[in-house]
Chains A and B, each alone.
Chain A
Amino acid sequence: DAMVIQNPRYQVTQFGKPVTLSCSQTLNHNVMYWYQQKSSQAPKLLFHYYDKDFNNEADTPDNFQSRRPNTSFCFLDIRSPGLGDAAMYLCATSRDLGGETQYFGPGTRLLVL
């Protein structure tokens, strides 16, 4: 089945130690998104890629970076995680922009010690 895959499902890192979260998709969608979701809150969009074009949300901290080496993969890099970065990170894809349906992966829960 076509899907959005996130690895790992759980990630523990130390305060200040860089961490990378991975997302892959078999849907061949043009757009890939990264959301941060803290406990009992709505998902918050960090950034998205339309093909190779990177679009950062205005309030996304510089500590968060992303890479999309090809259509299928997208990475979220947190350069120096703080305790406040502990959250669920959700990857999503859509065929196009403009309100197209987004398909979500299962998420990676990040714990910062």
Chain B
Amino acid sequence: AQSVTQPDIHITVSEGASLELRCNYSYGATPYLFWYVQSPGQGLQLLLKYFSGDTLVQGIKGFEAEFKRSQSSFNLRKPSVHWSDAAEYFCAVGASDFGNEKLTFGTGTRLTIIP
């Protein structure tokens, strides 16, 4: 079975500073990888996804993520955060094997932005 680890429960970043949120996954085959963002009291919005091909993936709102197979990682980055980026961020791995087609989410990283 697949699993996802987000080692940072809470991160605080100054507005304008760079951001990296960590995600490590465990899955036997080539994974499908996703980053979702959730604002308080809201549903999840897809930021970006990796299926295959170029390992550097561009998403919405200026986010990008890099798939590193050797490290089983899919870290999310943004060069300069804005106050509106404060939210909960979830990494997820999608399984493709028959009978196990579902997303498994990490426990999330809460991002706080300070002036």
Contact = CB atoms under 8 A, between A and B. Distances in A.
A102 B103 contact: yes
A42 B103 CA distance: 11
B16 to A, nearest CB: 27
Given A41-B107, A42-B107, A42-B108, A98 B101 contact: yes
Interface of B: 31-32, 34, 36, 41-46, 49, 51, 90, 94-96, 101-103, 105-108, 110
B103 A107 contact: no
Contacts of B43: 4, 6, 90, 104-107
Interface of A: 4, 6, 33, 40-43, 45, 48, 88, 90, 92, 97-107, 109
Given A41-B107, A42-B105, A45-B103, A101 B44 contact: no
Nearest to A106: B43
